[in-house]
Chains A and B, each alone.
Chain A
Amino acid sequence: MKKALFILLLTLSYSSFSQKYFTRTGNTNFKASVAVFEPIEATNNSTSVLLNTETGALVAQLFMTAFQFRVALMQEHFNENYMDSYKYPKAIFKGELSNFNLLKVNEKEKHTLTGILTIRGITKEIKTTAFLKKENNTLFLKATFIVSPKDFKIEIPAIVEKKIAENIEVSINYTLNEKE
């Protein structure tokens, strides 16, 4: 009986904090191109994102090997030579949307998104503006931010140094649905 009560309370306490929005097909894109040289950009269409709409806490992860490039060989070099994807298969983001209120999302489009991005086991603080929109039970989230290969100690050989941008623009475009 007591056990049942405990479980009930636990469930209640948990559910009151568990309104969540989720996607497994989020779009994350980066552009590391330098004008004149061949374009270096890739898209990941399987980013997993989870947002707690009570607290505004937002977490995301993606597999580095799921980035698609224009040339398949570029993808292989990205993973083998630059990102060490065998050792560090995932990129992880842990953060929050400040002053998030699900009911008032459409009143104020811009939100501050802050958090910690972990790539190759190295962390970097991210702060950017996220654009949010809600339609029925779907939440649209868009943002861009800049990272540098140096931030994550990515070694770039001298011969290709000029071909890879120092500032890489990362764009995120996530369509989140209410999680059951």
Chain B
Amino acid sequence: MRNTMLFYSLLFICSSAIFGQDDLMEELNLETKKIVTFNLPAFKAMKIGNLQSTKVGGKGDLYLYVSHRFGPLKDGFDTFFGLDNANTKIQLAYSFWEGIQLSISRESYNRTLAGALKFLLAKQSNKFPLTIAGYSTININTLLDENNFPELKSSDRFSYANQLLISRRFSENFSFELAPSYVRQNVQNLNIVSEARHNQFAMGFGGRVKMSKRMSLNAEYIYNLSRPENSPFSDAFAVGVDIETGGHVFQLLFTNAQSTNEPAFISYAEGDVVFGFNIVRVF
């Protein structure tokens, strides 16, 4: 019996010499298990369509966003399926610090100036299942005319949106996001909305399916929980594709909202389907 033991011990000595590299690798595997490895981002661009994604640009990266939303497709050939009427937005986003992105923008819809802040709270890794980001934006409607609204205060031009963006990349090709949102509208035009709802809550859902290394299919829907029953506005949605070509991402999409700013498309999506695109360029 003792001899058998000795035999096994000898065998072990020999085997560890012969298979030394494999044993060594096993030992190294145990060590690397302790290392935290972060997942790759759940989305290619800062937006899924209209809805913000959990992606935040790297420190020192400057992003230029050019977005167009055309007129309703149902206008047909008269406006060449909406192409005669475009809402244009130009946005610059920059990260002075890792995980914090600041942006400024101007869009034609209500001649809106906007500033936004997005910050990463957690990153999906082998130790934590979700990427979580906060997003906050202030919009200034510069179209409101004091001649038409004599009692207009400057604060009436402001609207805000605050969102928590929670995403998970379930697999290489599938990512999903939830976006509980709070929107503040300082002024509501009672000629248009039946009753004033200055504080609105909404839940955004978004996802993407990668079809190839450089292309993905994206979809989103934002359910507004505070919409009055006979509201003329709809819940916003967007369906589109991302096409990435090195430093650019092209997002071609169909949506039912004219505006690409959160306070506007969450509260005031018109409901008519329009074609639009975002072009993202990183410098």
Contacts and interface: CB of A to CB of B under 8 A. Distances in A.
Q: Are chains A and B native binding partners rather than an unrelated pairing? A: yes
Interface of A: 2, 5-6, 9-10, 13-14, 16-17, 20, 22, 24, 46, 48-50, 52, 55, 57-61, 63, 65-66, 71-73, 75-77, 79-81, 85-87, 89-90, 92, 94-96, 159-160
Given A52-B20, A57-B24, A94-B21, A46 B35 contact: yes
Interface in B61-111: 61
Contacts of A55: 17, 20
Given A22-B31, A50-B27, A50-B31, A6 B21 contact: no
Contacts of A24: 31-32, 35
Contacts of B5: 2, 5-6, 9
A46 B32 CA distance: 10
B16 A59 contact: no
A76 to B, nearest CB: 6
Interface string B205-226: 0000000011000000000000
B38 interface: yes
B129 interface: no
Contacts of A71: 58, 60-61, 282
B150 interface: no
* Chain A interface helix/strand/loop/mixed: mixed
A48 B34 CA distance: 11
Contacts of B58: 71-73, 75
B266 to A, nearest CB: 29
B21 A61 contact: no
A68 to B, nearest CB: 10
B265 to A, nearest CB: 27
A48 B9 contact: no
Nearest to B1: A2
A95 B17 CA distance: 14
B191 to A, nearest CB: 46
| Interface band, chain B | 35 or more
A13 B9 contact: yes
Nearest to A75: B58
Nearest to B25: A59
Contacts of B247: 73
B37 A61 contact: no
Given A5-B5, A13-B9, A63-B35, A81 B213 contact: yes
A85 B40 contact: yes
Nearest to A12: B9
B12 A13 contact: yes
B57 interface: yes
Contacts of B32: 24, 48, 61, 63, 90
B123 to A, nearest CB: 11
Interface in B1-38: 1-2, 5-6, 8-10, 12-13, 16-17, 20-22, 24-25, 27-29, 31-32, 35, 37-38
B4 to A, nearest CB: 9
Contacts of A2: 1-2, 5
B117 to A, nearest CB: 18
Contact of B28 (A13, A59, A77, A87): A59
Contact of B35 (A48, A52, A60): A48
Contact of B41 (A20, A52, A76, A90): A76
B40 A86 contact: yes
Task: Give 8 nearest A-B pairs by CB, closest first.
Answer: A72-B58, A86-B172, A9-B9, A57-B20, A13-B13, A6-B5, A59-B24, A50-B28
B127 interface: no
Contact of A14 (B16, B31, B35): B16
10 contacts: A2-B2, A10-B12, A17-B16, A55-B20, A63-B37, A72-B57, A73-B61, A79-B40, A81-B213, A89-B37
A77 B246 contact: yes
A174 to B, nearest CB: 13
Contacts of A160: 246
B59 interface: yes
Interface string B250-283: 0000000000000000000000000000000010
A65 B37 contact: yes
B21 A95 contact: yes
A96 B17 CA distance: 13
